[in-house]
Structure 1
């Protein structure tokens, strides 16, 4: 008997799930209907800062698969259509055509919730003024570019210094703007420990980006025509011709909450290893709207990344299509950059380790990306955390220039395998002077961490 799969969300997790299910089951066995409220499907939100900054020439380059391409594969993708309610007992969803204004109920046998995340947007005076932009979707990116083209001034304020904040600071700097970054924390990049964040702060200042710590934004000031003219904190006002909000995101789970689906401490949907919503046999969820298991701490956490979303979609699609797959969890790996400065982290920060009651040692080493005598060798700093009693690797953070960020993958594999820092020192990594010192910086940190564990008894 032919069944119907309904997918809410037309980006990474949702359309990966739909595409994988279609590979396993043809249209005669499985009808697939997907709803997307925006103008674009299957695109790279992670690429928006590089499109805004000019590294990526056109919007089209960020789109992996258009609605027409999905439809050609027998996936009924309905754009500009927003699902407004999920009737779990009745196995149906209510969708509103945003162009026509009409609403329709659509029944399902299987449902995928892939509603993504929404940017944090505090209820501050002036927050909705012209010239204030978030950058979560391609529509947001286009609106920002249009605003930059129409604005003669060259002063930009970025609110927030996480991944989006620092990446947008680079994008605006590349476009010739005078950039100020305001953030609430002690140092930028709160996903790093403060001592590593201090290196980022110093480097951003060296690039000409004004970085203001402990800055609590209180309001957006407007001028002629109601357009933004400055950002105010308790301490000062910062002139702005354009403002970009980079304060992070939260799971978009209002639909799920209203439908009574289970949510975790971070507001994300809770699923089992097969990405099935807990307690619901025929409902799956994936992408930025779910919480995932942290393999290092053993706790649920919220990690909104495109890499995870695509994996979730593959797992969901396999299970919906009659195959079997699981998503075991994450170790929290992420990389970014500000101009030529590369940033990376995986596993736990000191704060995270303390929160879960782990006793640990830390080491920090300075090294280079290549053999010191080889041209182009760039400095990098590696910080490593290890469990005090067992020597188990807990986390790694790296800040440096060319060749620094992707070294975190060594640590990500070691964390996933549950390796000790002593075991890491024997890893057979590739070596040649153009690529690494004879002892890779990560292995130097592992050696130092091994000694610290032994010294701690």
Structure 2
């Protein structure tokens, strides 16, 4: 019997987690594993790039979990700087191009893993490809930005977008001594929050010296006589810039999948079953930022680009491709971030998400502290909670505050996964001591207020 070959497209979190897990289950004499990565690095933390750029992480290599040589030592034939250009599903093969030599070749597969990740959204604006304009999706991107900063005399940075990438890069540039302007086309920064919570983020960013302009749709990027970026224009103003950072989000990189006729969802992400198999294809799996996942709260597919999900997908895929059995049930949409000392967290549904799926809800917003009010340096936080109007089922939580705020969202993430009501949450046996929490943890205070709101709504 001929040895099977597993081909993996993508050498980062999902792809190499899948390859490594499959190798644990089947040795080199049972399963050949060939992986393709178009970049210079494998198994790196894209989430850490803002902290490397900002100087919190001293070295680029600190963000690399496993090098190509380490993967090869484990029996994975990882081909770097090699881009897959075509998937021939019927023929069971992929075409690849060596980016250094230009040579092309076909590689057959018995099993295929698609882990092509996501690409930064590059708005089709005049000047968007000018020198000095940078995305920050890969280590190559981060290095290119640092190289630009080393050559740039001016100290004005414009960040386009005020989501996770935007606010984290705003902090990074502030730490590097730049005058930072964030251009946000939305009502408030952090569109993953409701506007009332985003307003808190805006106020905090202003107090840090970051200028945030809301309702600012960029129309073009202006260049000087040398061709480099000199300003960013909106309909109403121009903002001088020596460097521009694109932080307007990412979208699934499914160009290959689309050309191969594989099923895509509403967000252009690949659609999979619970085993992370591409729907309708027995021996093709997909995971990471190129797929859509089931939202356990809304019951709909969503695109969420996070390394936590990608690594879990890889474990599931590798187990199944290696002859085992595992499933990925879905997510509740948990994410945390920070800008300087401000912590931002969310899980579950926003108000507009609940309305979009036809859920009636109540909200409760409270202010509390990270530790007992009398304990030194207790920091303030705001917690907002959504609950279903009739049942009291928890629908979502958002938290904005200082030290000790963000990771409290994990309490809500567990409650969402378990399908708990806000009333059930009020009796959770959480850890307490004055340095860590008030007697009533802020999440439980919000749950109590949400419980009251549910009862009052039920009486109307």
Query: Cα distance, 1:415 vs. partner?
Result: 0.1
- State how far apart, in whole Å, the 1-side matches of 2:153 and 2:305 are: 35
- Secondary structure of the equivalent of 2:289? coil
- What is residue 11 of structure 1 aligned with on the other side? 12
- State how far apart, in whole Å, the 2-side matches of 1:268 and 1:219 are: 28
- What is residue 183 of structure 1 aligned with on the other side? 184
The 10-residue stretch of structure 1 (217-226 or 184-193) with the greater mean CA deviation from structure 2: 217-226
Deviations 1:46-83 (A, max 9, x none): 00000000000000000000000000001000000000
- What is residue 292 of structure 1 aligned with on the other side? 293
> Does residue 335 of structure 1 match 2:336?
yes
What pairs up with 1:45-124 in 2 under 5 angstroms? Answer: 45-124=46-125
What pairs up with 1:176-255 in 2 under 5 angstroms? Answer: 176-255=177-256
- Secondary structure of the equivalent of 1:85? strand
- Secondary structure of the equivalent of 2:288? coil
- State how far apart, in whole Å, the 2-side matches of 1:76 and 1:173 are: 41
- What is residue 386 of structure 1 aligned with on the other side? 387
- Secondary structure of the equivalent of 1:288? helix
- What is residue 28 of structure 2 aligned with on the other side? 27
- State how far apart, in whole Å, the 1-side matches of 2:304 and 2:329 are: 14
- Secondary structure of the equivalent of 1:397? strand
- State how far apart, in whole Å, the 2-side matches of 1:7 and 1:309 are: 14
- State how far apart, in whole Å, the 1-side matches of 2:124 and 2:393 are: 43
Deviations 1:243-267 (A, max 9, x none): 0000000000010000000000110
- State how far apart, in whole Å, the 1-side matches of 2:143 and 2:441 are: 42
> Does residue 308 of structure 1 match 2:318?
no
- State how far apart, in whole Å, the 2-side matches of 1:210 and 1:305 are: 27
- State how far apart, in whole Å, the 1-side matches of 2:457 and 2:419 are: 20
- State how far apart, in whole Å, the 2-side matches of 1:251 and 1:302 are: 8
- What is residue 402 of structure 1 aligned with on the other side? 403
- State how far apart, in whole Å, the 1-side matches of 2:13 and 2:239 are: 37
What pairs up with 1:366-445 in 2 under 5 angstroms? Answer: 366-445=367-446
The TM-score with structure 2 as length reference comes to 0.99
Query: Cα distance, 1:224 vs. partner?
Result: 3.0
- Secondary structure of the equivalent of 2:157? strand
- State how far apart, in whole Å, the 2-side matches of 1:400 and 1:364 are: 13
- State how far apart, in whole Å, the 2-side matches of 1:299 and 1:242 are: 38
Which 4+ runs in 1 deviate beyond 6 A? none
- State how far apart, in whole Å, the 2-side matches of 1:184 and 1:327 are: 35
- State how far apart, in whole Å, the 2-side matches of 1:63 and 1:254 are: 26
- What is residue 139 of structure 1 aligned with on the other side? 140
- State how far apart, in whole Å, the 2-side matches of 1:75 and 1:321 are: 13
Query: Cα distance, 1:6 vs. partner?
Result: 0.1
- State how far apart, in whole Å, the 1-side matches of 2:455 and 2:380 are: 28
- State how far apart, in whole Å, the 2-side matches of 1:261 and 1:126 are: 34
- State how far apart, in whole Å, the 2-side matches of 1:265 and 1:199 are: 31
- State how far apart, in whole Å, the 2-side matches of 1:379 and 1:276 are: 45
- Secondary structure of the equivalent of 1:128? coil
- Secondary structure of the equivalent of 1:173? helix
Runs of 5+ consecutive residues of structure 2 not aligned to the other structure: none
- What is residue 364 of structure 1 aligned with on the other side? 365
Query: Cα distance, 1:116 vs. partner?
Result: 0.3
- State how far apart, in whole Å, the 2-side matches of 1:348 and 1:375 are: 34
Query: Cα distance, 1:234 vs. partner?
Result: 0.4
- Secondary structure of the equivalent of 1:456? helix
The TM-score with structure 1 as length reference comes to 1.00
Aligned-residue Cα RMSD (Å) equals: 0.4
- State how far apart, in whole Å, the 2-side matches of 1:401 and 1:56 are: 21
Deviations 1:359-418 (A, max 9, x none): 000010000000000001000000000000100000000000000000000000000000
> Does residue 165 of structure 1 match 2:149?
no
Query: Cα distance, 1:187 vs. partner?
Result: 0.1
Query: Cα distance, 1:122 vs. partner?
Result: 1.0
Query: Cα distance, 1:3 vs. partner?
Result: 0.3
